[in-house]
Chain A
């Protein structure tokens, strides 16, 4: 057994008991990266030297008897839209190809304080816009279960690295499903936390009212460990909640007795593949036999969520991405004769097609004469969806659904059909629209041997309940088997 194969939970204990050092562990993961990267292409930047330096520092602290955080010495990867001081942060875009942030995101400050070892920056869809990581300007990441298939997106590098053993855990971001859908496609656990529980300071903004940083790992406890480390109040994010958080990993009981699990019928419609429904039902039944009660609930406006999501997200994106103008940082065109041309050519050369489409859509729905028909109506639809969730949570403690309508698709299969690509997010966007926490856990395989994801959705700040339920299923079902993706 190689060290890179183990979970953060196990490694944390081994490090504490001095059964291995962080340097040995980091070496093991770096060797794994070297071996698998040519095939998987999850990383945009690998910081081997800095990682080893940090690992040695942590080992020295431990040898000196310092009290360390559970994540101390654990090597992890970071999605490339999270600012890392002194390390390139590209958002997988040409426009930020050479951008080196002069500051750390709040979550990075937290991880540094916890003495986590940062391995490097992970590939993604450009500016987190996409569901397959094919929209990266630099490379296409592959699904470790079958390298002909996409890893999902936009946090495709975050999911693929963890599923291939190229990182113990990772950070991603989720605006409409970008942590949960790739977690489902790669057979790992991914948490999109409650909006406002993790600071967005230093996360390159896509849709500020929906964006949230979260964690990906090969076990429920690993994800809980990372979430505990990154959540909390940050004065630099005005939407950050003023609140105390427990130690989620330590609080996991795996007990579901008496919990009411809602099954929203709208999430099991005809667009959902039969294999997916079957695997998700199996998980629901297993939780029922562990003592939970299954209740049927209804969220009638689910059908409208995708429209509302794409309108709100694109509107915010068109405004957020106005800052990329070639003036203060990032790419600047060489081809211009006046200021307007500099703006237009910089942006046209610097952004990829999907980013342009969303900027154009956002500009359209906000433009004079269309604002009321699109943007305002979408915002009211959002309120209705929030109300429906609140009502559903009177009848149950959490909801259980498929994470995505189908398993991973082949690379190139959906690139020319945006509408089909957008449908990948149909079961995840509601969670962002309502600001709720959502967790995807692996619940089996389809006929092609690709992983199926099951999504748990709870009321705001109910992460502990989601961890308990996921942990109960994990204990029954067995954890992630890295051996299956080793080939």
Chain B
């Protein structure tokens, strides 16, 4: 089995040192081997769960936590805004 750890890490927004990569690669292979054990069944139909209909609530503003309270958890703030690195080059 060949799992491209580097590609998966990129998709997952994670990075690994070469040693970690080797360790993860071995572990992932064993885990994938475990989860591959699935029955032969027809998996071509749609996947819906009619026994579990969801009820959506009306789109109404309620119980809004205030801005200061929300910003208290932000890693870096300035003038009531969250500071982030430059997004568009």
Contacts and interface: CB of A to CB of B under 8 A. Distances in A.
Contacts of A307: 34-38
Q: For A103, A351, A374, A377, which residue has the most chain B Cβ atoms within 10 angstroms?
A: A377
Interface in A280-331: 301, 303-304, 306-308, 310-311, 318, 322, 325-331
Given A100-B73, A238-B54, A364-B3, A384 B41 contact: yes
A379 B47 contact: yes
Helix, strand, loop or mixed for chain B's interface?
loop
Interface residues of B, number: 46
B28 to A, nearest CB: 6
B22 interface: no
Given A239-B52, A348-B16, A367-B11, A310 B84 contact: no
A258 interface: no
Contacts of B82: 327-328
B85 A336 contact: yes
Interface of A: 98-100, 102-103, 196, 235-236, 238-240, 242, 301, 303-304, 306-308, 310-311, 318, 322, 325-332, 336, 338-340, 342-345, 347-348, 351, 356-357, 359-361, 363-365, 367, 372, 374, 376-381, 384, 418-419, 422, 435
A110 to B, nearest CB: 15
A144 B86 CA distance: 51
A332 B83 CA distance: 11
Contact of B75 (A330, A344, A379): A330
A306 B34 contact: yes
A292 B10 CA distance: 56
Given A102-B73, A329-B73, A422 B13 contact: no
Contact of A242 (B13, B36, B55): B55
Interface string B45-89: 101000010111100000101000110111110000010111100
B41 A381 contact: yes
Contacts of B87: 339
Contacts of A345: 15
Contacts of A359: 12, 14
B37 A303 contact: yes
Given A347-B13, A360-B24, A378-B38, 16 more contacts: A238-B54, A239-B54, A304-B38, A306-B35, A338-B85, A339-B85, A344-B14, A357-B31, A359-B14, A361-B35, A364-B3, A364-B8, A367-B8, A381-B38, A418-B30, A419-B34
Contacts, number: 144
A328 B74 contact: yes
Contacts of B3: 364
Nearest to B65: A102
Contact of A311 (B35, B42, B63, B86): B35
Contacts of A338: 85-86
A236 B16 CA distance: 38
B39 to A, nearest CB: 5
A384 B39 contact: yes
Nearest to A329: B73
Contact of B57 (A100, A235, A310, A339): A235
A363 B14 CA distance: 11
A238 B53 CA distance: 9
A235 B65 CA distance: 18
Contacts of B75: 326-327, 329-332
A303 B36 CA distance: 12
A311 B56 CA distance: 28
B76 A332 contact: yes
Given A339-B86, A347-B13, A376-B47, A357 B36 contact: no
Contacts of A102: 65, 69-70, 72-73
User: Nearest 10 A-B pairs (CB), nearest first?
Assistant: A332-B75, A329-B73, A235-B57, A102-B69, A102-B65, A380-B43, A238-B54, A307-B35, A343-B13, A307-B37
12 contacts: A306-B35, A310-B31, A318-B12, A327-B82, A329-B74, A330-B75, A331-B75, A332-B76, A342-B85, A344-B14, A347-B14, A360-B28
Contacts of B24: 356-357, 360
A238 B54 CA distance: 5
